[in-house]
Amino acid sequence: MTPEQFRQALAQQGFELSDKQMKQFEDYFNLLVEYNKNVNLTNITERDDVYLKHFYDSISPAFFVSNLKTNQSLVDVGAGAGFPSIPLKIINPDLQVTIVDSLNKRIVFLQQLVEKLGLSGVNLVHARAEEFGSRRAKSRESFDLATARALARLSVMSELCLPLVKIGGKLIAMKAAKAPEELTDATKAIHVLGGNVDQDFEFQLPENDEERHIITINKERKTPIKYPRKPGKPSKEPIS
């Protein structure tokens, strides 16, 4: 997907990108590739692949979740090189973004990226998700929306993300072809953590037809204070 094809594809979804926004994506790509020479942020570095598999894919939740077009607060857990929250921020500057990542080298990259792109309303946090959403953390149940991409299986992702979402908010889980299986396995965890599955939006990426799922989970009740458990335990012993 060339930059111009990227622009046209988003226009078909109702997002008309300005020249400034296109320049921000160009700068994002250039910094990502340059930084990746010294710090492993991604295995995807070819321009057309980055625009499709990182930029377009990251924006796809906004095709289905109208809240991402407003000025709500979004926490992105384990964003790595900024996906999906930074592309979502570029198309909607009013979105208030907090990125949580456990590796400081990725936070350093994101600091440079935010400065390069001239973004405001982006908070970068070096922390484990289990600690960021713990019972005494100020961030607990304080966000309108939470999202994650390639973080963990849905049962684990739910334990790391749902404690951060306020009642009435949503978890937006980005998944691939195994989403239905993960959703079945995560049913109990989602319920225990105070969530309720809203919808599973299935679509295919343009050009390569890779299957994608955007699963939305409503936060209906407070998360029990025992969750999230200590760092490492959610992934070793998923709620089942």
Domain ranges of the chain: 60-236
Q: Residue 212's pLDDT is what? A: 95
Query: 10 Å Cβ neighbour count for 213?
Result: 20
Q: Residue 177's pLDDT is what? A: 87
Residue 130 to residues 118, 127, 140: CA-CA distances in angstroms? Answer: 30, 8, 10
- The vertex-92 CA angle with 157 and 204, nearest 5°, equals 55
Q: Which amino acid is at 189?
A: A
CA dist., res. 239 & res. 15, Å (int): 38
Q: Residue 209's pLDDT is what? A: 87
Residue 62 Cα to chain centre, angstroms:
11
| Verdict on whether the full-model pTM lies above 0.85 | yes
Q: Which amino acid is at 109?
A: F
Query: Exposure of 155 by Cβ count < 10 A (0-12 exposed, 13-18 middle, 19+ buried)?
Result: buried
Contact status, residue 177 vs residue 144, Cβ threshold 8 Å = no
Q: Tokens 């407003």 — which residue?
A: 70
CA dist., res. 217 & res. 67, Å (int): 13
- CATH number, domain 60-236: 3.40.50.150
Instruction: Please give the structure tokens belonging to residue 151.
Output: 């973080």
Report helix, strand or coil for 137. Answer: coil
Instruction: Please give the structure tokens belonging to residue 233.
Output: 């335990």
Pairing of the two strands 143-149 and 73-77: parallel
pLDDT mean by block of 10 residues, the chain; 240 residues: 98 97 98 95 96 97 94 94 97 97 95 97 96 92 94 93 97 93 95 97 92 97 96 92
